[in-house]
Structure 1
Amino acid sequence: MPNKNHARSKLPKAQQRQPLLTTRRNARMARSAHAYVRGNTSKFYEWLDGIEGHALPEGPAVWICGDCHSGNLGPVADARGRVEIQIRDLDQTVIGNPAHDLIRLGLSLATAARGSDLPGVTTVRMMEALADGYERAFDEAAGDADIHAEKPEAVRVVMKEAVRRSWRHLAEERIEDIEPSIPLGPRFWPLARRERREIDALFEQGSLEGLATVLRDGGDDTDVSVLDAAYWVKGCSSLGRLRYAVLLDIDGAAVEGDDLCLIDIKEAAQAAAPRYAGVRMPRDNAERVVEGARHLSPLLGERMRAARLADRAVVIRELLPQDMKLTIEQLTRDEAMKAARFLALVVGKAHARQMDSGERKAWLTELRRNRSKTLDAPGWLWTSIVELVSSHAAGYLEHCRRYATGATGRKD
């Protein structure tokens, strides 16, 4: 039988994590152009910073995702088990220009189309579908039916799986077992004693006990105890920040699946996404993320809390079995159009719910301007996508030269 202590001794200690996480992040981004786009948000912000001041319309000041690629959308659930496709990663959320989210989503989908070897004309039609789906969210005559219609196959599959999932599915997927422990290995690394003490102390706070019991209908006197915790090697752009998985027992009695709670603790860093000048947002980064989530993704926002851990801002949320990532890698021509229209509608709904009727009408009017005879989408949207696809393609090849070739022992 393998020696667990020996296997554990090979895993990195806390002070050894950073270089390993950086290497892993670079390797993940080299896997595909789509992965590079997802992981290199800073390149998108550099492009925004470099364009002329009036090249994009200035939409109403609302909370935006700030990093609105397709992988940051997916099924999320609320405390009552209702499941919807919403924005699921709010690290970069700010009060800013909603046009930025639309462009970022368009870049992600255009890159997925290129990865699927679809012809350029399909990308043109995708951007038209993207504009159409987004605009529907602000058209009061359209109603709410559109968000449930014409779901692409990738969305139908993940939604069907999400609604049937239970704690057992979550445990087997995330921690590989239903036993009350987190198995150390490639995904979970050991904690320093100081980290474990800080996590134990964190969940002694009454406000966080409430987070753990809200989905269990537990009262204020319900006991909550930390069963296990580990450093979580997760994500791509967030690799290198504090990230922990914590397994809680809700009632303190016999440990069973219904009593267990898997918590995600994620460091909230300073947002790089451009914000509108003069707007008021929480100064604490974790409070900013939670506030943005409550506006953009209410199902997710209601089960998130801001806290401090090791003197850093962290966002804490319970993971539910229905929380899943939407993966859009290989697309057919038909599915490409459906995906663009549907996901843009989801993002548009998240923006529109923050606007009054006058703001929605004015934004819709602006979105429908600047059309040509050959493109049924705003000219600024198409120009932005062309520039971004080109710059990211070059950036991806350079990234591969620097990192992927080094992994095979070749020199620059």
Structure 2
Amino acid sequence: MVDDRALGALDDVILSARTLFPDLEFLAPGGVLELAVRRHGVERIRVELPPGQFLHLQGIGVDAPDDGRTARARVEVSSWYKSYGERFELQRLLDFEHPTGTVVHTGADEPAWLELVFDSPIDIERLRLRNVDGPTAVRARGLRVLLQTGGTWLVAYDHAARAGELRRLLTHRTELGGDPTITALLPLLAQTFEGAYADARQALDAHTEISTADRSAFRAAVTSGLLADRELEWTVHGPQRCFRFWDETEKVTYVEFAAKVAEALASLTPQVCFGFGAALCVVRDGDLIPHDDDLDIIIGFDPHEAGTLGEGLALVEQCLRPLGYTVTGNFTAHRQVRRNGSKQVDVFVGLFEGDTISWYPGTRGALDRDLMFPASEGRLLGVPVPLPRNPLVYLERLYGEGWRHPDPNFKHTWDRATYADLTRPGRG
């Protein structure tokens, strides 16, 4: 068990790393990267990302003795995403002190890049970049800034190199009292600083020897010390932009999207409604749960409709894709549904076995038809949404008698073995 002294030392490490590497905060929404370049005769400024990433940029601030030549610069990009090129205004990009939303958005090119080209070489004293203000800010991971002088490119900033420096610093820390748990977690902290959130989450999951309490303490320390300022929280799903960071318009739009997905699925079967945390949102909170990060829809099929979970998932895909939805994932019992780049909604498939039904990762056979359907209706943020027929009993069966009290660390049973026969081809 990690003691308070070790956790306090971890807090100090996070604070010192932020102090020594302020440039890594560029990954935060609206983050600023400030470079004291002091270069003479700069012909071009290039901003680029590793292959396969979208380049988003809000603004570029160029401090030069001759601002007139800066204003007469032109911009070249690897590509424009959709209509961003038609809407592009150089003045918006260069007006660093008055951000006005995303200005540059390229495709996921090989690599994606932007170049600010001057009609004649200029002297630069300072260069500032402003990241976009939103969840796509993390796409700046791996960013490089280069300056062309006399036809030669010079690297002014390399995010990957800086992340490597931090990684080496953290993994050589010795003043944490020798606590083996903290020592094992320091590489994960480095990954989090550099924006490798999925990798950090997978690494934490792989440390099976670390107790649930220590995992929770680590997640809380990293969230409060670093991630909250990036509008992220480390939940059981990894670092996520949880609902506590969403504004009201975003939340209503997302709930409306989820309701439309449920309505589309109702063409398959009326046995569809909000489930899991989405039902909690409506019944308990009247709002999106602050520590949650997505909504869940549950759909039930009778044996003559689907004999296996795979067949049920195929029906979901066949229903939604022709309607313009993107359906992805290769999970045991659910798929992720998006449309036009929206936040995904998870659609879980359940199969009736007589009068009982269950949705993995919930306990198999814990629910019955009369409890679940026909669906009732509730309202979430003013949006009508379908709910289980008896949502109070549903939530008690799913989360236990304490369901009325939020528990950020709640976990389902995740007993895949009990659902094994429902995943086998040829069942039924």
> Normalising TM by the smaller chain, what interval?
under 0.3
Query: With CA pairs under 8 Å and 6+ residues apart, which has the higher RCO, 1 or 2?
Result: 1
Structure with more of its chain in helix, by fraction:
1
TM-score with structure 1 setting the length: 0.24
TM-score (norm. length: structure 2): 0.23
Which structure carries more strand by proportion? 2
